[in-house]
Structure 1
Amino acid sequence: MVFHTGRWYVVGHDHLRDSLRTFRIDRITSVTSRADNFTAPDGFDPVAHLTSTLAQGPYRWQVEVTIHGPLDEIARRLPRSAVTLTAQPASVLMQARAERLDGMAHLLASLEWPFTIHQPDELRQALKNLADQLAQAAERAPGAILQ
């Protein structure tokens, strides 16, 4: 069992599908006890498995961005449940899934390192929209009335 972002999950072998699965405990409606056993593979890390599984969730957008910075520092800034990071020679490849691109634009804008968007192209527009909002906020005089 793993506790993550306010929920309990169980990671185990699904005998019906004969594969490793992750289940949210609050969604389990019944349990059938079986005599079969399952031994976790050597070196299995249930927390790493869960966060990797959640990062590949059923979201609308597949995001791929190269972040030009050090892997260890980038990993500390990004939620493991939302992204997969792969070290490159002088950068880090970030892969993620997102339901909304404006949230991904905010996440990327919060980073201190330059980045290059590979996909989706629509993320570029979301980033431009955020930049426009920030530029307007920077120009807004104190006491200005928003419409």
Structure 2
Amino acid sequence: MDVAGAAERGTTERVLTLLGLLQQRQVWTGPDLADRLGVTPRTVRRDVDRLRTLGYRVHASQGVGGGYQLGPGQDLPPLLLDDEEAIVTAVSLLIGAVGAGDAALRALSKLDRVLPTRLRHEVRALSGSVESFDGARTPVDSDVLMTLARACRDEVEIGFDYPTGNVARSRRVEPYRLVASDRRWYLFAFDLDRDDWRTFRVDRMTEAAARTWHFRARVTPDAAAYVQEGVASRVYSRQARFLVHAPADVVRAQIPASAAVVRPRDSEHCEVLSGADNLDAVLLRVVLFGHDFQVLDPPELAARCHELAQRLLSAGTAGPADC
């Protein structure tokens, strides 16, 4: 490579580095950028002009607090993403944001900030279709997740196969929200065949496809709360309710969101709703909170408390000769 070619490559790499720096911070002073790039402030000004020529809106201001700032709505996206690529990228970042935390959230925010208005609206619409009450873990097919998210955004019916017992049955729903729990992704939707709200695990869906029929949005329950209550109680054969003598925030910190719904009663009491196939497990969980409590439902669980209490008292008073 000749000297001119090497110089051009060096300029290109430096301009790309400058673009990355402008995306990392709201405002940069000229001397700060020059120091980071190892060039003079005059070279920084020339590189900023190159970015403007390429379609990036770089604002410059004078005085205290002034400097260079990358504006939103570029004519030329940094990654040259088309609509489909922007949606796929946003879905991937949303998955990472729920499971991986700040790094993915920063990347999603950066993507939203520098894309043109048309693509930014696509990403924001997709983000509005996702809710969470904890962090997701179980991997899901990104194509299925993207299909569901777009159907939520566009308000179109969606069909998929879903197992009922040992048989996969076709379902036809109006999708409203994707909700992430501590382990899985769920679709909150209105089941047209059952004429009621339902929760579906995304990892159990197959053959998911959007239909052409648009629906009129219904008045909906709180999606995250509905799915959380379903995960914590409705999917189990037995449910229990307790009045716990502790603030709701304290109890929420003691139990995963997928294991129980905690509702405040007042500043010093809360109601805990949980489910299990064996209510002894739920009872033990509430005992281990370390707070006073009363059983609200079912009535037979209160009798079970007395039975277990007598057994524990007997265990505590048994001497060596009784063993």
Pick the aligned partner of 2:292 from 95, 106, 114. 114
Given that residues 68 and 114 in structure 1 are in contact (C-alpha distance below 8 angstroms), is that contact kept between their aligned partners in structure 2? yes
Distance (Å, rounded) in 1 between the aligned partners of 2:181 and 2:314: 36
Q: Which residue of 2 aligns with 1:129?
A: 308
Given that residues 70 and 92 in structure 1 are in contact (C-alpha distance below 8 angstroms), is that contact kept between their aligned partners in structure 2? yes
Q: Which residue of 2 aligns with 1:72?
A: 249
User: Higher helix share goes to which structure?
Assistant: 2
Given that residues 274 and 282 in structure 2 are in contact (C-alpha distance below 8 angstroms), is that contact kept between their aligned partners in structure 1? no
Given that residues 233 and 276 in structure 2 are in contact (C-alpha distance below 8 angstroms), is that contact kept between their aligned partners in structure 1? no
Q: Which amino acid aligns with 2:278?
A: R
Deviation for aligned residue 1:41: 7.8
Q: Which residue of 2 aligns with 1:35?
A: 212
Unaligned 5+ residue runs, structure 1?
none
Q: Which residue of 1 aligns with 2:160?
A: none
Deviation for aligned residue 1:109: 1.4
Given that residues 190 and 198 in structure 2 are in contact (C-alpha distance below 8 angstroms), is that contact kept between their aligned partners in structure 1? yes
Pick the aligned partner of 2:236 from 59, 80, 101. 59
- 1:41/1:138 CA distance change after superposition, 3 Å: farther
Given that residues 232 and 258 in structure 2 are in contact (C-alpha distance below 8 angstroms), is that contact kept between their aligned partners in structure 1? yes
Unaligned 5+ residue runs, structure 2?
1-177
Q: Which residue of 2 aligns with 1:95?
A: 273
Q: Which residue of 2 aligns with 1:104?
A: 282
Given that residues 232 and 259 in structure 2 are in contact (C-alpha distance below 8 angstroms), is that contact kept between their aligned partners in structure 1? yes
1:2-61 deviations in Å (ceiling 9; x for gaps): 443433322334454565432112322322321234687899865434212223414332
Q: Which amino acid aligns with 1:103?
A: A
Q: Which amino acid aligns with 1:61?
A: R
Given that residues 252 and 262 in structure 2 are in contact (C-alpha distance below 8 angstroms), is that contact kept between their aligned partners in structure 1? yes
Q: Secondary structure at the match of 2:234?
A: coil
Deviation for aligned residue 1:120: 2.2
Q: Which residue of 1 aligns with 2:7?
A: none
User: Number of matched residues?
Assistant: 142
Report the TM-score when normalising by structure 1: 0.68
Deviation for aligned residue 1:131: 7.1
Pick the aligned partner of 1:24 from 201, 209, 212. 201
Report the TM-score when normalising by structure 2: 0.36
Q: Which residue of 2 aligns with 1:83?
A: 260
Fraction of identical pairs, as percent: 25
Distance (Å, rounded) in 2 between the aligned partners of 1:25 and 1:19: 18
Given that residues 105 and 130 in structure 1 are in contact (C-alpha distance below 8 angstroms), is that contact kept between their aligned partners in structure 2? no
Once structures 1 and 2 are overlaid, which stretch shifts more, 36-45 or 95-104? Answer: 36-45
Q: Which amino acid aligns with 1:114?
A: D
Q: Secondary structure at the match of 2:289?
A: coil
Q: Which amino acid aligns with 1:116?
A: Q
Aligned-residue Cα RMSD (Å) equals 3.6
- 1:38/1:125 CA distance change after superposition, 3 Å: same
Given that residues 98 and 104 in structure 1 are in contact (C-alpha distance below 8 angstroms), is that contact kept between their aligned partners in structure 2? yes
- 1:57/1:34 CA distance change after superposition, 3 Å: same
